[in-house]
Amino acid sequence: MKLYVVGGAVRDRLLGLPATDRDWVAVGATPEQLVALGYQPVGKDFPVFLHPATHEEVALARTERKVGRGYHGFQFHAAPEVTLEDDLLRRDLTINAMAEAEDGTLVDPHGGRADLAAGVLRHVSPAFAEDPVRLLRLARFAARFPHFRVAPETQALLVQLVLAGEVDALVAERVWQELSRGLMAERPSRLLQVLRGCGALARLLPGLEALPPDAASAHEATLDRAAAAGPEAAPLPVRAALLLQPLGGPAAAQRAEALRADADSAWLAARLPAAHAALQALATAPQAEPLLQAMEQHDALRRPARFALLLAASDLLADRSHHATALHPCVDELVAWPTTGVAATAQAQGARGPAIGAAVRAARLAWLHRRLAQAGPRPAAAG
């Protein structure tokens, strides 16, 4: 049995990028042999094991054959006679089809190192067009490595894959997984450009392909602005909402649901289009009643973190740094302001049910009036 590091870890090392989780391929082994050596089986579709010491994933060298449509339409064959070259041949891109032996020897049968140096995303074999996930993976690699170009022959296969209807067989969860990773990459605009260029955007994110050129450019610039802000200022829900914002609230909500997006991303995508203009106006000239109404409308008193995401997304959409987000201190203080005494006093005076809630709201509104008066007039942010 021989072990080889494969795929992304080899690629990233050659690019001088920080070490990532390593995936291994075992050549010349059987599942029984690995189990006898203490490896723990975890694979469902094909034999994958966890190393007994490092807990890194080790897969048996395998080949694959297309037997049906979509991502799951493959039959795998793993056996001791499957070579490393056989295993590498089934991989998507040349830059991901390299291996490294335990002694450091590089195995590169498809020119991945040369494509890394030239900045080219190129398929390994025509079988690339059989798996629609590979289209999504290439698109997110384009977002992660924005200086890389798609090889013309690979572009032709992308178009072929879309025309064959393979994209329509993708499951929503896998689409969202790949889109999410692309959105969190260095330049998300490249994700959209690759999908648009091969016709997949209309299938995966219908409506975005119909944006006029100027609107599409502005949309891509917004996503890249979010990426430049970093993952803390612009986490995935913010970027997802910005991605779907041009569709409008109802359509954005429907698309987020269709993609099985996470709860925060779906919530934000549904609210940003309608809330954006009001939040920017409120940030320019804060007023107590509209601010409290916005907090109530968007559940800020119970879930202030979500409201903070909404403010951040609005600022990125408007290309204004710390404009709506400047409301955070006031919002956070009001959320933390204790209302138990107000409720108890109202109850002691005979208030019940909704009347107690009204007394609490009136007290919050009075607090906001005082807080905003103390802050004084706030000039509008540039931008």
- Residues 13, 19: Cα–Cα separation, whole Å: 7
Question: What does the buried/exposed string (b/e) look like for 342-361 if buried means 16 or more CB atoms within 10 Å of the residue's CB?
Answer: bbeebeeeebeeeebeebbe
pLDDT score, position 378 = 47
Check if the beta carbon of residue 76 is closer than 8 Å to that of residue 64: yes
CATH of domain 1-118: 3.30.460.10
CA dihedral 132, 136, 141, 143 (to 10 degrees): 160
- Residues 292, 316: Cα–Cα separation, whole Å: 22
pLDDT score, position 69 = 53
Which residues of the chain fall short of a pLDDT of 70? 43-46, 65-75, 376-383
Domain ranges of the chain: 1-118, 124-204
Tracing tokens 């991901």 back to the chain, one arrives at 96
- Compute the half-sphere exposure of residue 383: CA atoms within 13 Å on the CB side of its CA: 15
Report the DSSP pairing between strands 120-121 and 106-107. unpaired
Determine phi and psi for 64, rounding to 5 degrees.
Answer: -140, 150
Check if the beta carbon of residue 149 is closer than 8 Å to that of residue 122: no
The CA angle 170-171-172, to the nearest 5 degrees, is: 115
pLDDT score, position 2 = 93
CB neighbours of 256 closer than 8 A, spacing ≥ 6?
Answer: 240, 244, 265, 266, 269, 270
Burial grade of 121 (CB within 10 A; 0-12, 13-18, 19 or more):
buried
- Residues 97, 143: Cα–Cα separation, whole Å: 19
Q: How many residues does the chain have?
A: 383
CATH of domain 124-204: 1.10.110.30
- Residues 184, 112: Cα–Cα separation, whole Å: 25
- Residues 343, 356: Cα–Cα separation, whole Å: 6
Helix (H), strand (E), coil (C) string for the chain: CEEEEECHHHHHHHCCCCCCCCEEEEECCCHHHHHHCCCEECCCCCCEEECCCCCCEEEECEEEEECCCCCCCEEEEECCCCCHHHHHHCCCEHHHCCEEECCCCEECCCCHHHHHHHCEECECCHHHHHCHHHHHHHHHHHHHCCCCEECHHHHHHHHHHHHCCHHHHCCHHHHHHHHHHHHCCCCHHHHHHHHHHHCCHHHHCCCHHHCCHHHHHHHHHHHHHHHHHCCCCCCHHHHHHHHHHHHCHHHHHHHHHHCCCCHHHHHHHHHHHHHHHHHHHHHHCCCHHHHHHHHHHCCCCCCHHHHHHHHHHHHHHHCCCCCHHHHHHHHHHHHHCCCHHHHHHHHHCCCCCHHHHHHHHHHHHHHHHHHHHHHCCCCCCCC
- Which tokens sit at 275? 């809330």
- Which tokens sit at 254? 């429907």
| pTM (two decimals) | 0.89
